[in-house]
């Protein structure tokens, strides 16, 4: 979406900010923005200094996190603010008797683009009706852009060879425990594991869990070394960097998305789905419409069980090509059918002349 806004008005400067390292590290070299950096901590002084420095004509506020001082300062300055891909649930503070300060933050938005009808209905209970549109999730458009501009990842094809490949992305310890037995038993399958946390101590622990493993940073040297006994060759590649996961899914026979065994829930299931891959994840996904939709569409399987159940599902998919193709086609169709949210937001910005000086 930002690329399209830039194309409409090339002179317009775009500032992209992040609060968490996981988002910033992936996008810090993003060419669609003029500036990419961390958002300073939310405080009255920081909000004023930041807005003085940037002086935005329009704020696009994406999804989940709400910062009181930034939002109230945006409203005080009469800056247009659009909530993009918003999602609301009735257990959030906005809809509780004690939620006055949260509801005040909502008053800072000029318009809401929400993901589902429940969000639209909940906002209506607070009096936000005319300024709300059911629009879907812009992430569908983003993953399509990434897939369309796919570039190969050095060394991955050689590592995969002719083997079946399982790419496990954004894994936590709970996911790795679920996968451990399957990985150690299936030595002819290649595994690419991208831990969510690439802190040195954590990825060392991950490597220690999987005896026949190698870091991506070591891959080139390993591939230049002739290994006479292929039984000793690594069958597990551990990604020790941030930024390439969305491309790695393209190499998969079957994909596994982490987070579904933790309290926060599953990570981005659209990244593998866009390549037409079967998607597998744990049982905690009820907060994520895209994961629910992908399961309902037949492109994903949620596993509510231990390592034995995980092994049964992965074995079934690896041995059933027809089922893999069926699920893969459903995944790709699901992404395509839900694309277009970005276009509607851009059309709104143009119609309302929000970027016209």
DSSP string, 2-44: HHHHHHH-TTS--EEEESSHHHHHHHTT-TTSSEEEEPPPS-H
CATH architecture of 2-137+339-351: 3-Layer(aba) Sandwich (3.40)
Give the mean pLDDT of 298-314: 95
pLDDT of 25 > 90? The answer is no
Q: With contact defined as beta carbons under 8 Å apart, do 172 and 199 qualify? A: no
Report residue 49: phi and psi, to 5°.
Answer: -65, -45
CB atoms under 10 Å from CB of 287, counted, come to: 13
Report how far residue 304's alpha carbon sits from residue 312's, in angstroms, rounded to the nearest whole number: 12
* pLDDT reading at 231 higher than 80: no
| For residues 257-280, average pLDDT | 97
Please, what is the average pLDDT of the chain? 93
Instruction: Report yes or no: 255 and 278 within 8 Å, Cβ to Cβ.
Output: yes
Residues of the chain within CATH 3.40.50.11720 domain(s) are: 2-137+339-351
Please check whether residue 34 is in contact with residue 55, taking contact to mean a CB–CB distance below 8 angstroms: no
Has residue 225 got a pLDDT over 70? no
pLDDT at 227: 47
- Quick one: average pLDDT of 113-131? 97
- pLDDT confidence band for 357 (50 / 70 / 90): low
Distance CA(38)–CA(61), nearest Å, equals: 14
Q: Residue for token digits 């994903």?
A: 300
Contact present, 341 and 141 (Cβ < 8 Å): yes
Say yes or no to pLDDT of 119 above 70: yes
Domain with CATH 3.40.50.2000 in the chain: 149-337
Of residues 286, 329, 283, the one with CA closest to residue 305: 283
State residue 262's pLDDT score: 94
Entry pTM: 0.91
Residue 243's pLDDT band, with cuts at 50, 70 and 90, is confident
pLDDT of 265 strictly over 70:
yes
Q: CATH number of 149-337: 2.40.40.20, 3.40.50.2000, 3.30.70.2740, 3.30.930.10?
A: 3.40.50.2000
Distance CA 46, CA 51 (A): 8
173-185 and 307-319 helices, crossing angle to 10°:
50
β-bridge mates for residue 60, sequence order: 82
pLDDT of residue 251: 98
């Amino acid at each position: 979406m930002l690329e399209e806004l830039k194309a409409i008005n090339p002179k317009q400067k775009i500032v992209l900010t992040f609060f968490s390292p996981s988002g910033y590290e992936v996008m810090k070299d993003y060419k669609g923005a003029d500036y990419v950096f961390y958002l300073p901590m939310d405080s009255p002084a920081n909000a004023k200094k930041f807005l003085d420095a940037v002086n935005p004509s329009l704020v696009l506020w994406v999804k989940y996190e709400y910062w009181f001082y930034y939002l109230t300062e945006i409203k005080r300055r009469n800056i247009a603010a659009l909530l993009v891909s918003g999602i609301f649930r009735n257990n959030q503070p906005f809809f509780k008797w004690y939620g006055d300060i949260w509801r005040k933050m909502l008053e800072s938005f000029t318009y809401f683009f929400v993901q589902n009808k429940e969000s639209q209905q909940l906002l209506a209970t607070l009096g936000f009706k005319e300024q709300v549109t059911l629009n879907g999730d812009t992430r569908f458009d983003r993953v399509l852009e990434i897939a369309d501009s796919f570039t190969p990842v050095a060394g991955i094809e050689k590592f995969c060879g002719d083997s079946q490949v399982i790419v496990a992305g954004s894994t936590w310890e709970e996911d790795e425990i679920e996968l451990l037995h399957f990985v150690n038993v299936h030595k002819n399958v290649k595994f690419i594991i991208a831990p969510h946390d690439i802190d040195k101590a954590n990825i060392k622990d991950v490597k220690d869990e999987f005896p026949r493993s190698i870091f991506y940073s070591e891959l080139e040297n390993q591939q230049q070394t002739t290994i006479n006994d292929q039984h000793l060759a690594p069958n597990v590649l551990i990604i020790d960097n941030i930024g390439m996961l969305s491309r790695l899914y393209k190499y998969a026979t079957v994909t596994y998305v982490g987070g579904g065994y933790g309290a926060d829930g599953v990570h981005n299931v659209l990244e593998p789905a866009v390549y037409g891959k079967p998607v597998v994840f744990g049982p905690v996904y009820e907060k994520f419409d895209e994961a629910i939709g992908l399961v309902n569409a037949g492109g994903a399987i949620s596993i509510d069980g231990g390592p034995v159940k995980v092994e049964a599902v992965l074995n079934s998919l690896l041995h059933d090509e027809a089922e893999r193709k069926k699920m893969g086609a459903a995944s790709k169709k699901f992404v395509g059918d839900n694309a277009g949210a970005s276009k509607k937001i851009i059309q709104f910005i143009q119609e309302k002349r929000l970027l016209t000086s």
